[in-house]
Amino acid sequence: MNIQECLENGLLKKDKPSIEKAKKSIKISKLKLEKAENLFKLKILDMAEVNIYSSMFHASRALLYRDGLKERSHYALYIYLKEKYYDKIEPRFLNELNVLRLNRHEIFYGFEELILDEQEIRNIINLAGEFIKLIEELL
């Protein structure tokens, strides 16, 4: 799937570009990362991971808002970043965003509990912080 197919299938929709919405999305992103850090300290790793994903998701949406789009699919957002920002966002960020997207789905809807590693969660909290800074620079 590519951006054009996402648009044709209604997974991405054209909208009026909005730097205001982009800034609000960044603000939410930072709040979600704070929640993830607090949940991590409480050793509630699955919800920490979900909030890390939410943080990266909202940061990513900031670019969509700025570019005049809105998402109707988490996967479409990933596709958009991968295709549109391939030369500005390192693959490590995009790969982690996608892994977190899949893990979030498994945490909420799966039949098996994910085995999560504390050090890995710490690492992705740090990565999400870097990602937010990068997105702010791109805005």
What percent of the chain is modeled with pLDDT above 70? 100
pLDDT band at residue 37 using 50, 70 and 90 as cut-offs: very high
pLDDT band at residue 115 using 50, 70 and 90 as cut-offs: confident
Is a pLDDT exceeding 90 seen at residue 123?
Answer: yes
In angstroms, the CA 104 to CA 98 distance is: 10
pLDDT for the residue 114: 84
Q: Find, among 57, 60, 74, 66, the residue nearest to 15 by Cα.
A: 66
Is a pLDDT exceeding 90 seen at residue 42?
Answer: yes
Domain ranges for the chain: 17-62+88-138
Helices marked H in 1-139:
3-8, 19-41, 45-67, 74-84, 91-109, 118-138
How many other CB atoms are found less than 10 A from the CB of residue 135?
Answer: 26
Is a pLDDT exceeding 90 seen at residue 26?
Answer: yes
The topology under which CATH files domain 17-62+88-138 is Four Helix Bundle (Hemerythrin (Met), subunit A) (1.20.120)
Is a pLDDT exceeding 90 seen at residue 49?
Answer: yes
